[in-house]
Amino acid sequence: MSVKERFLRYVSVNTQSCEDAGVFPSTENQWALAKMLAQELADLGAQNVRLDENCYVMAELPSNIKNAKVPALGLIAHMDTSPDASGENISPRIVEKYDGCVIVLNEEKGIKLDPAQFESLRTHIGEDLIVTDGTTLLGSDDKSGIAEIMTVVDYFTKNPTVPHGKICIAFTPDEEIGNGAERFDIEDFGADFAYTVDGGAIGEIEYENFNGANAGIFIKGKGIHPGEAKNKMRNASLVAMEFSSMLPEFETPGHTEGYEGFYHLHSMSGNVERAELQYIIRDHDRDNFEKRKSFIKSVGSFLNYKYGDGTVSVTVEDRYYNMRDKILPHMELIELARDAMQAAGIEPKVVPIRGGTDGARLSYMGLPCPNLCAGGHNFHGCYEYCSVQSMERITVFLIRLAQMFAQRDN
- Please state the rounded mean pLDDT for residues 90-105: 97
Burial class (CB in 10 A: 0-12, 13-18, 19+), 75: buried
Q: How far apart are CA 149 and CA 338, in angstroms?
A: 18
Query: What's the N-to-C CA distance of the chain in angstroms?
Result: 32
> In terms of Cα–Cα distance, which of 24, 12, 81 is closest to 55?
24
Q: Are 272 and 329 in contact (CB under 8 A)?
A: no
How much is the pLDDT for 409? 55
> Any catalytic annotation for residue 187?
no
How much is the pLDDT for 178? 87
How much is the pLDDT for 356? 81
Q: pLDDT tens digits, residue range 64-83?
A: 998 778 899 999 999 999 99
Query: Is 185's pLDDT higher than 80?
Result: yes
Interhelix angle 29-44/3-11, rounded to 10 degrees, is 150
How much is the pLDDT for 410? 47
Q: pLDDT tens digits, residue range 297-332?
A: 999 999 999 999 999 999 999 988 999 999 999 999
Residue 318: asked if its preceding bond is cis (omega within 30°), the reply is no
Catalytic residue among 128, 175, 384, 392: 175
> In terms of Cα–Cα distance, which of 286, 79, 298, 47 is closest to 179?
79
Question: What SS3 class is residue 191?
Answer: coil
- Domains in the chain (CATH in brackets) are 3-208+322-407 (3.40.630.10), 215-320 (3.30.70.360)
How much is the pLDDT for 342? 97
Strand order across the beta sheet in which 211-220 lies: 262-270, 274-283, 211-220, 312-320
Give CA angle at 69 (65, 74), nearest 5°: 80
Instruction: Please name the amino acid found at residue 284.
Output: H
List Cα–Cα distances, 101 to 96, 104, 114, 216, in angstroms.
12, 9, 7, 42
| Mean pLDDT, the chain, whole residue set | 95
- Please state the rounded mean pLDDT for residues 144-150: 98
> Any catalytic annotation for residue 206?
no
CB within 8 Å of 273: residues ≥ 6 apart? 220, 221, 222, 223, 236
Give CA angle at 8 (379, 166), nearest 5°: 85
What is the per-residue burial (b if ≥16 Cβ within 10 Å, else e) of 167-205? bbbbbbbbbbbbbbbbbbebeebbbebbbbbbbbbbbbb
- Please state the rounded mean pLDDT for residues 132-158: 97
CB within 8 Å of 154: residues ≥ 6 apart? 1, 44
Query: Residue 345: left (phi > 0), alpha (psi -120 to 50), or beta?
Result: left
Q: pLDDT tens digits, residue range 368-408?
A: 999 999 999 999 999 999 999 999 999 999 999 999 998 87
Q: pLDDT tens digits, residue range 325-371?
A: 999 999 999 999 999 999 999 999 999 988 888 999 999 999 999 99
Catalytic residue among 40, 80, 148, 204: 80
- Looking at residue 118, the DSSP 8-state letter turns out to be -
Q: How far apart are CA 203 and CA 350, in angstroms?
A: 8
How much is the pLDDT for 164? 95
Q: pLDDT tens digits, residue range 211-269?
A: 999 999 999 999 999 999 999 999 999 999 999 999 999 999 999 999 999 999 999 99
Query: Is 131's pLDDT higher than 80?
Result: yes
